[in-house]
Structure 1
Amino acid sequence: MKQPNILLIMTDQLRGDCLGFARHPDVKTPYLDTLASRGISFDNAYSACPSCIAARAALHTGLSQEHHKRTGYEDGIIWDYPHTMAGELSKAGYYCQCVGKMHVHPLRNYLGFHNVELHDGYLHSARYTSVPWQESQKNADDYFHWLKQEKGIDADVTDTGLECNSWVARPWIYEEKYHPTNWVTDRSIDFLRRKDPQKPFFLMASYLRPHPPFDAPSYYFDLYNRKELTPPALGDWETEELLKSQGRVFDSKCGPLDKDLIREAQVGYYACITHLDHQIGRLIQALVEYGVYEDTLILFTSDHGEELCDHHMFRKSRPYQGSIRIPLILSGNDRLLPGLTPGTVSHSLVELRDVMPTLLDFVHTHIPDTLDGKSMLPLIEQPQKALREVLHGEHSYGEYSNHWLVTPQDKFIWYSETGTEQYFRLLDDPKELHNEIDNPVCQNRICQLRDCLIQTLKNRPEGFSDGTKLIPGQPYPPYMPS
């Protein structure tokens, strides 16, 4: 009998709390809510190195950042790993197709997929005129090639006037069918049309949104423009220094100073999420029409979150929940996921590195012993089992370079440039409104977590720890030296 199929739905920059089933007060996601209602969702899912390249390295290799070596954002480094998610599934007899974002190097590196229909969004390093032609997005990116065929040689995603890291928002200027979110769905559905019916498939539908530009079609902007929106989280520990110095810069790391522009950023972000959700709905309906919905495991997740003006911050890479916490759903019937209670929520601590071993476990094939990730399938029957007690995360980010430890209960943060520390009790304070680093009641726990980080970092080549203390100010490149 043919093995079941796998659909991995990957999004970019989607916060773990911006979903209807996660009880967000404003965002509506009926199709993702459906996936969660028939599966298991994880409310302590994280991206240990929360930016596009490093997060995807964890996803595709099953490795922690200490082993895939990407500790921040840097383009142009060759992806060369002995085991990849698609490569191992291919060995197990799966036809592996990716549609959408890969963000690897070189751009047409397939990482074990049999075929890739590529759209990486706007990549600065691949758009400069000095880039070799074969590595230029104007040549290598399938969506850009298609858009210019459809709309004319000068058509581009920049025609809205928006930048790919900006909080500026406005509706998509072309017909909705030309939007990159629709394109990923269209090409994924076309794969279902032309797939080999006798062979199981692994389809990765890899969407760009809600990563900026915030440019959903007008219908979705209208949904949120007429609503009163919950303002961003603001605690008792932030300073306005960065906001005052950069709050009028369109692509700043703090978001806008103007309250109307903050609201516009929220409207644009939420509009992109609901647009994405509806396009995922199209893909789910196509699975039904092609008769493969009941034979397909669906795994939904994101590479990292978006700060969205929480704590006067924007984008990702910093150690706060808006940036590091991600959605993760395993959805299927009880034949695909034996022992499942539909609608289960697991509080176990999981990470992107766990996706690859989970899928390999699902198809009953060999899991390389070099992987750092763990299969999440045991959590189907035992959702409150602890897959791990603590997770170490980090990001090379200049003056904001950071390391952190998170548990289902709390979080310890260390900024490696300055030595600044923070501590949050997440169970009581999920929005991180109160930094408890100086609270006498918390000192024993803070010492435990600090000591854990000291031991975690003691053999790192950067010199963050000597085994007895944390050492700030060490050089911290985005790719670990050997």
Structure 2
Amino acid sequence: MILKQVTYTAHWIVMILGFLMFTGFSCSQKKMAEKPNILFIFPDQWRSDFIGAKGGEFVHTPNIDRLASEGVLFTRSYAATPTCLPARATLLTGMAPWNHGLLAYAPIPTRYKNEMPQLLKDEGYYTFATGKLHFKPIGGPKLKIPTDELDNSKFMHGFDEIRLCEGWGHPQNAYNEWFAEQAPGRPEDGTGLGSTDHRGGVYAYDEKLHPTTWTANEAIQFIKDYDRENPFFVKVAFHRPHPPFDPPQRWLDFYKGREIPGAVTGEWSIEKYGEEQVPDMSKQVNSPRGNFGDQFVRESRESYLAAISFLDEQIGLIIKTLEDKGVLENTLIVLSSDHGDMMGDHHLWRKSFPYEASAGVPMVMRWPESLKIDADRGQVLEEIVELRDILPTFLDASGTTVPDYMDGMSMLDLVRGKKDKWRKVLDMEHGRCYWKENSWTGLTDAQFKYIYFNATGEEQLFDLKADPGEQHNLAGLPEYEATLKTWRDQMINHLTERGEPWVVDGQLGTWDEVINFSPNYPMEYYPEEIEGS
């Protein structure tokens, strides 16, 4: 009788445990199904004002404009440290430059304690990336290991799968291998343009071989074939519109004769850089500063814009794939870039500068119906957002609390109308780049921008609303003396905890040394493949 009762009880225990396990599994599956897919589109070197949705009627970007009209456009969006590697460190960590430790163009550590792909993977996402991740060492005289012997897996940062297209000079690329099969014996670069040239040219081969096409097709094929129960996180990191500016002929033809804004200059930039003429246009043109002339600027911008429109076209194909698969309304889409390009503004080129053309980046987000956000679509928001806000946005969308150590915030809060706690001022900075004097810290509240050059002590103050082209430096004008002091004091307060040389005896310091890293950089994960710098 006792044995029978024990057996009976055990039977019910097994049934109850089974029921609990089943319901727990079902709840887990349901929770997983409620997480939206995430599509992160991240082209390289795309300035914020070169999209149609931001009033750029001269540029043809209908697919990005569609995302903005069905979601939100942020008009004050920045890369706080506007070069490739520190911007990507911000993406990985959701942290400000000083806190993730990379202050200039220097190696990203092989890992941070918490990183975007791994955090999303921990939330149940299958993580895939294609294109220019730019996480691993880039080569050059300090590289101790040949590029084609580098172990890609060491630089995946939590991605389950990657398909690289890093650009010329990176033989360990899926794109290079594919191109060699498609066009045996031909070099990937058929234009003769350098990877930092301001000149443009026509893509030398059939456009189906172009890196922009390949990157989009890799994303499209992944989405078409995806059949896992997990939500996906897809990062599409286009190499363009970073040079070489090599769009197909049809897009160059589109911009020939089209009205395009010329370069903006101010009295301060004409004085500093306007006399630096480029003597020989037949040579490789890649200087980060100098007066190249109006015609050169025009031709360079035509090629840059053509590359952008070609890229926008490919983005449209990716969006269509989401629609065809029936997952568009369960996919959060965010588009941004690592930095802009001066494109001749103030006689400056490329990136690393504190000005809007360099530090401003696009930020467009379309949220899916599955998130059940009660908000108007087509919003245009002026709150300051930065690359550090992208990871918190993804975590928020996945139903996860944003960790306190992150400096970024979820941009979905702004969409929901929760603006009271949003930042009022953004900190920006960049260590020495190109030349000694180009080392700076900055602050902006979306109206004023204060810039301090660390090597010289020079100050700049711009009223962005009255002077969006930053043509008139207000520092030194008597009527702005009080405003300048307010911003200088705010910068001192911001930097005081760093100590010397940032602040010396209560004043902003100056120094000659190169400071690429803050004490927060995880030196134990400095890539051993590169000599110390």
- Is TM (by shorter chain) over 0.5? yes
The partner residue of 2:224 within 175, 180, 193 is 193
CA contact 1:306–1:314 (8 Å) conserved in 2: yes
* Aligned position for 2:296: 261
Opposite residue 199 of structure 1, the aligned amino acid is N
Distance 1:467 1:206 in 2: 45
C-alpha deviation, 1:329, in angstroms:
1.2
Quote how far apart the aligned CAs of 1:395 are: 1.0
Within-5 A mapping of 1:426-445: 426-445=464-483
Query: Is 1:104–2:135 an aligned residue pair?
Result: yes
Paired residue type of 1:405: L
What SS does the aligned partner of 1:302 have?
A: coil
Residue among 307, 311, 317 paired with 2:342: 307
Contact 1:350 1:387 in 2 (8 A): no
Hey, what does 1:49 align to over in structure 2?
A: 81
* Partner in structure 1 of residue 257 of structure 2: 226
* Structure index of larger Rg: 2
Compute the displacement of 1:409 (Å). 0.8
Matched position secondary structure for 1:222: helix
| Kept in 1: contact 2:273–2:346 (CA 8 A) | no
Q: Separation in 2 of the partners of 1:302 and 1:437?
A: 30
Q: What amino acid is aligned across from residue 40 of structure 1 in structure 2?
A: V
Could you tell me how far apart the structure 2 residues matched to 1:461 and 1:286 are? 52
CA gap 1:219/1:382 in 2 versus in 1, 3 angstroms: same
Partner SS for 2:429: strand
Q: Distance in 2 between matches of 1:477 and 1:452?
A: 22
1:14 aligns with 2:46: yes
Pairs within 5 Å for 1:70-219:
70-75=102-107, 77-105=108-136, 108=152, 109-122=155-168, 127=169, 137-138=170-171, 140-157=172-189, 159-219=190-250
Match of 2:268 among 233, 237, 246: 237
Q: 1:196 to 1:389 in 2, by over 3 A?
A: same
C-alpha distance in 2 between matches for 1:193 and 1:463: 54
Structure 1 position 462, deviation (Å): 5.9
Match status 1:460 vs 2:460 = no
How many angstroms apart in 1 are the aligned matches of 2:468 and 2:311?
Answer: 26
TM-superposed CA distance for 1:243, in Å, is 4.8
Q: Map 1:367-382 onto structure 2 (within 5 A).
A: 367-382=402-417
Aligned residue identity for 1:477: I
Confirm whether residue 406 of structure 1 aligns to residue 444 of structure 2: yes
Tell me the distance in 1 between the aligned counterparts of 2:97 and 2:249. Answer: 39
Q: Which runs of 5+ in 2 are unaligned?
A: 1-29, 138-149, 521-533
Distance in 1 separating the partners of 2:277 and 2:104: 22
Q: Are positions 1:480 and 2:518 aligned together?
A: yes
Deviation at 1:308, TM superposition (A): 0.6
User: Distance in 2 between the 1:241 and 1:329 partners?
Assistant: 35
What is residue 131 of structure 1 aligned with on the other side?
A: none
Q: Partners of 2:438 and 2:500 in 1: how far apart?
A: 16
**CA 192–378 in structure 1, closer or farther in 2 if over 3 Å, else same:** same
Residue 464 of structure 1 deviates from its aligned partner by 1.5
Query: In structure 1, what is the Cα distance between the partners aligned to 2:462 and 2:405?
Result: 33
- Of 290, 300, 307 in structure 1, the residue corresponding to residue 325 of structure 2 is 290
* Alpha-carbon distance between aligned partners in 2 of 1:409 and 1:78, rounded to the nearest angstrom: 35
Unaligned 5+ runs, structure 1: 128-136
The AA in structure 1 aligned to 2:507 is K
Contact map agreement 2:342 2:358 (CA 8 A) in 1: yes
> TM-score with structure 2 length normalisation?
0.84
Aligned partners of 1:359 and 1:161: how far apart in 2?
40
Cα displacement (A) at 1:319: 0.6
Could you say if the C-alpha distance between residues 383 and 272 of structure 1 is closer, same or farther in structure 2, counting changes exceeding 3 Å?
farther
CA contact (8 A) 1:38 1:333 kept: no
Counterpart secondary structure, 2:371: coil
Say how many residue pairs are matched.
466
CA contact (8 A) 1:462 1:474 kept: no
Give the counterpart letter for 2:488 in structure 1.
R
**What SS class does the counterpart of residue 221 from structure 2 fall into?**
helix
Question: Aligned equivalents of 1:410 and 1:473: distance in 2?
Answer: 26
The CA deviation at 1:185 is 0.5
Using the TM superposition, name which of 96-105 and 464-473 deviates more.
464-473
Q: What is aligned with 2:360?
A: 325
Contact 1:51 1:317 in 2 (8 A): yes
Amino acid at match of 1:344: Q
For the 8 Å contact 2:127–2:232, the answer to whether it is kept is yes
Q: Quote the residue 2:395 is aligned against.
A: 360
Work out whether residues 307 and 315 of structure 1, in 8 Å CA contact, stay in contact via their aligned partners in 2. Answer: yes
CA distance in 2, matches of 1:195, 1:333: 19
1:393 to 428, 437, 443: 428
Q: CA deviation at 1:66?
A: 0.6
- Measure how far apart 1:80 and its partner are: 1.8
461-470 vs 5-14, greater mean Cα deviation? 461-470
Distance 2:322 2:390 in 1: 22
Q: Specify the code of the residue in structure 2 equivalent to 1:114.
A: D
In the alignment, is the contact (CA less than 8 A) between 1:5 and 1:201 conserved in 2?
A: yes
In structure 2, do the counterparts of structure 1 residues 199 and 481 end up closer, same or farther at CA, with 3 Å as the change threshold? Answer: closer
Match of 1:343 in 2: 378
Farther-moved stretch of structure 1 (246-255 vs 216-225): 246-255
Distance 1:148 1:240, change over 3 A: farther
Q: CA deviation at 1:461?
A: 6.2
Residue 321 of structure 1 and its aligned partner are, at CA, apart by: 0.3
Quote the offset at 1:385 in angstroms.
4.6
